[in-house]
Structure 1
Amino acid sequence: MSYLVGKVVLDVVAGAPNNGLGEDNVATVKQLRVGRDIHPYVSAQAFRRWLRDSLPASEPVSPVVRSGSGQKQQAYTHGRPDRYLDDDLFGYMVAVKGDKTKTCQRDTVLATGTFVSVAPRRPERDFGTMSRGFAAGENPVLHGHEFYSAELAGDVLLDLARIGVFEIDGAGLKIALPEPAAKEAADNGAEPVAFRGCSALRLTIEERRRRAALLLRTLTAVRGGAKRSMHYGDRTPALILLAPVKGGINPFTRVLGVRGDRALFDAGVLRAEIEAWADELDGPVLLGWAPGFLGEQRERAQAELADLISAGSLLIDHPRVLFGALAEQIERGERDTWFEDPKA
């Protein structure tokens, strides 16, 4: 059993990819304060939406059900992880009062943190006007918005052993598939297993491999974000660090720091964490780094970590190349041990 854990970094240039609540006709970007410093951020919900929307068009996604009105509205997916990859990987909660045949819950298999600017960045404020079709002499309508340039970093964790495995008993809303759905999944080939103290149904290893590989490929090709009419930009991660770790600890949260007012990749921190957690690593650390991101730091890190690269403990390449190769290994069955849970 292994978890893929690490960090994803987005390179935002003059963008406004995730907006907060506007006021006084000004659209503001999401931002937090640390002391006197301002750090723009992209919420985990927004990034997960981008990731879901970036799945191939051929991949069916779980339909959304909306009910109620006013403050008593509900919205939820079908809650069928056996049918839909997004229900499997992103989780759901379906709470239908008085109907146990539909009430179910699944914790996320892909955990994502908030993508916060590594270095403090104060958003700039721009304004626009609307005067098209106005009569001569009429005042234009003014509107404003914020944007910024920053490197945004967030932590990620993928629980590989839970891909395609769904609890069918447990306490409270822990049940991922209620009885009617569980029967249908079993009839379609899901096998009964014991998993982390619960009875569960598990999809075939071929389907579990497919879902993991598809997620990795999609992660390297994310698109989306707000304000694309004025601040279109690449939302593909510029840096992805993932490592197979047996226990689910993420020791790589501090590989990015700040020097002066710029983001710094700290090769010394990465080396120290690889050495400290060597007994928990279940394969090489994978560092997908787009050329040109953070200037010459990529080449400097390769030189400083050359011994780890030569030993096979660290692989550095373009994110698409590196994680595309990992997806192929998974599809060929070369990483099947990552999907097995010894506590099952």
Structure 2
Amino acid sequence: MSYLVGKIVLDVVAGAPNNGMGEDNVARVKQLRVGRNVHPYVSAQAFRRWLRDSLPASEPVSPVVRSGSGRKQQAYTQGRPDLYFDDDLFGYMVAVKGDKTKTCQRDTVLATGTFVSVAPRRPELDFGTMSRGFAAGENPVLHSHEFYSAELAGDVLVDLPRIGVFEIDGAGLKIALPEPAAEQARANGAEPVTFRGCSALRLGIVERRRRAALLLRTLTTVRGGAKRSLHYGDRTPAMILLAPMKGGINPFTRVLGVRADQVRFDAEVLRAEIEAWADELDGQVLLGWAPGFLGDQRSQVRSELNDLIADGRLLLDHPRVLLGALAEQIERGDRDAWFEDPKE
């Protein structure tokens, strides 16, 4: 088995991709404070929404059910990971009081961290006016909003063996597919297996490969974000670091640092982690780096890590090229061992 672990970096230029709570007619971007420093961020929920919205139009997504009113409202997806890619990869919770045939839960297969600016960046305040159609002499309506430029980084993990595998027993809400959903999945070809101590149903390997490949391709084509009318910008990852690890450890969280107020990629940190975790790595480390991101650092890092590249332990290329090639390997069946947990 293998987990794909690593880091995704977004390059935000004069943008406001994820807004927080507004106040006094000012739209604030999400931000956190570390000491006296301000770090804008994009929440994991927002990025996952962008990713879901970036799926091909041909890929069906799980319909959302909304019920109740006021503070007692509920909203949840169908909870059918056998039918829908997003229920499988992103997880869900369906809690219908008194109805065990619908109550179920699935932990996420794709785990994403918060995308926080690596270097402190204080948002700027911009203002605009609305006066269109006002009579002569009337005062315009003023409104303000924040925006910023920053490199945002978040950790990522994909639990490959869990793609297309759904628990049907366990304690409490561990059940991912209650009856009669499980019965329908069996009728559609899902096979019974024992998975991590639970009875489960597993989709065929062709569909599991397809879903993993679709995730990788979609990661390189992310679009979305708030305020696109004023601050449109590229939201595809400028950098993606992914490595297949036999366990769920992510040792690559510290490859980015700050020097003289500028974000720096630390090649020696990456080298040290590759060597320290060599026995847990289950293939090449992939470093997708868009040309032009972080200036001339890309060519410097290539030079500093040339021996790892020559040995085949590290691949450095455009994110779309690297993940597209990995998706093709998965679809061909070259990486089927990554989908199998050790025999219990």
Aligned pairs for 1:46-65 within 5 A: 46-65=46-65
Asked if the contact 1:255/1:269 (under 8 Å) is kept, the reply is yes
Aligned pairs for 1:117-128 within 5 A: 117-128=117-128
Which digits, 9 at most, give the CA deviation of each residue in 1:48-84, with x for residues without a partner? 0000000000000000000000000000000000000
Corresponding letter in the other structure for 1:134 = F
Q: Partner residue of 2:290?
A: 290
Q: Partner residue of 2:68?
A: 68
> Deviation of residue 179 (structure 1)?
1.2
Q: Partner residue of 2:306?
A: 306
Which digits, 9 at most, give the CA deviation of each residue in 1:58-117, with x for residues without a partner? 000000000000000000000000000000000000000000000000000000000000
Corresponding letter in the other structure for 2:16 = A
Q: Which SS does the other structure have where 2:173 is aligned?
A: coil
Aligned pairs for 1:1-344 within 5 A: 1-344=1-344
CA distance in 2, matches of 1:131, 1:179: 59
TM-score (norm 1): 1.00
Structure 1 consecutive aligned stretches of length 4 or more whose deviation exceeds 6 Å: none
CA distance in 2, matches of 1:316, 1:65: 43
CA distance in 2, matches of 1:115, 1:93: 24
> Deviation of residue 341 (structure 1)?
0.4
CA distance in 2, matches of 1:112, 1:53: 16
Asked if the contact 1:195/1:343 (under 8 Å) is kept, the reply is no
Corresponding letter in the other structure for 2:146 = E
CA distance in 2, matches of 1:247, 1:217: 23
CA distance in 2, matches of 1:168, 1:223: 35
CA distance in 2, matches of 1:256, 1:186: 46
Which digits, 9 at most, give the CA deviation of each residue in 1:158-200, with x for residues without a partner? 0000000000000010000001000000000000000000000
CA distance in 2, matches of 1:67, 1:139: 43
CA distance in 2, matches of 1:268, 1:211: 34
CA distance in 2, matches of 1:93, 1:175: 10
Corresponding letter in the other structure for 1:97 = K
> Deviation of residue 330 (structure 1)?
0.2
Q: Which runs of 5+ in 1 are unaligned?
A: none
Q: Which SS does the other structure have where 1:257 is aligned?
A: strand
Identity rate, percent: 87
Q: What is the RMSD computed on CA atoms of the aligned residues? A: 0.4
CA distance in 2, matches of 1:325, 1:146: 39
CA distance in 2, matches of 1:35, 1:90: 33
CA distance in 1, matches of 2:312, 2:117: 31
Corresponding letter in the other structure for 2:21 = L
CA distance in 2, matches of 1:263, 1:283: 28
> Deviation of residue 279 (structure 1)?
0.1
CA distance in 2, matches of 1:289, 1:201: 38
Which digits, 9 at most, give the CA deviation of each residue in 1:188-240, with x for residues without a partner? 00000000000000000000000000000000000000000000000000000
CA distance in 2, matches of 1:33, 1:305: 34
CA distance in 2, matches of 1:343, 1:133: 71
CA distance in 1, matches of 2:53, 2:185: 25
TM-score (norm 2): 1.00
Asked if the contact 1:196/1:343 (under 8 Å) is kept, the reply is no
Q: Which SS does the other structure have where 1:98 is aligned?
A: coil
Corresponding letter in the other structure for 2:84 = Y
> Deviation of residue 260 (structure 1)?
1.0
Which digits, 9 at most, give the CA deviation of each residue in 1:267-307, with x for residues without a partner? 00000000000000000000000000000000000000000
Asked if the contact 1:10/1:238 (under 8 Å) is kept, the reply is yes
Corresponding letter in the other structure for 2:60 = P
Report the number of matched residues. Answer: 344
> Deviation of residue 343 (structure 1)?
4.8
Asked if the contact 1:190/1:201 (under 8 Å) is kept, the reply is yes
Q: Which SS does the other structure have where 2:144 is aligned?
A: strand
Asked if the contact 1:14/1:149 (under 8 Å) is kept, the reply is yes
Q: Which runs of 5+ in 2 are unaligned?
A: none
